[in-house]
Amino acid sequence: MNTPHPAPEHLLGPTTDLGASITRAAKASIVLKHSSPLPMPGIEHAALPVLFAAHDQPRRVSDLAAACHLDVSTTSRQVSALTALDLVTKQADDRDRRAQVIVITATGRELVLRLREERATRLAQILHDWEPHDIQALSGLLDRYADAVERHLHSQGA
């Protein structure tokens, strides 16, 4: 574990406000997610990050867990549920035939694309009075923030 960078004094005031804003936005996002209907019978909201990560590329359960910041046992449970719904399948890993990778199915791919479209529509409804450049700026800043958090966690051995 590395020693964290010291907190610059001139950032303490702005980061206090930022912390409150992030907390408020995170709570709003959670409420929004749970107010959304489930995309299909039998799937949980908690399984969707695993499905989206599997959409990106075939991965081992441990790699999916790392990508989703979940423990392996939780991810394995979600993979089993997604497999039962024919959204992902397990295949032998080409690099190590003893291991398996999780591969998204055509049904899973269609679901991910539909969910992305629905999310974009819902965000457009919520942000209907925003200018496109403001939405793009927010998106860029959120990506930058997430990257900084991931770098920090990585430097801490998390």
Per-residue model confidence as pLDDT tens digits over 1-33? 556 678 888 888 888 889 999 999 999 999 998
CATH classification for the domain delimited by 36-122, as one of 2.60.120.260, 3.40.50.300, 3.30.70.270, 1.10.10.10: 1.10.10.10
For the chain, which residues make up each domain, given as ranges?
36-122, 127-158
pTM of the shown model: 0.83
The residue ranking higher by pLDDT, 158 or 104, is 104
The predicted structure's pLDDT at residue 2: 59
Identity of the amino acid at 35 = S
Q: Please name which of 103, 99, 101 lies closest in space to residue 56, comparing C-alpha atoms.
A: 103
Phi, psi torsion values for 38, nearest 5 degrees = -65, 140
Residues 62-78: tens digit of each pLDDT: 999 999 989 999 999 99
Q: Is the pLDDT of residue 150 over 80?
A: yes
Q: Which residues contact 86 (CB under 8 A, 6 or more apart)?
A: 105, 107, 108
Q: Please name which of 57, 39, 153 lies closest in space to residue 107, comparing C-alpha atoms.
A: 39
CB atoms within 10 A of CB 146: 10
Distance CA 82, CA 59 (A): 14
Q: Please name which of 140, 146, 139 lies closest in space to residue 123, comparing C-alpha atoms.
A: 139
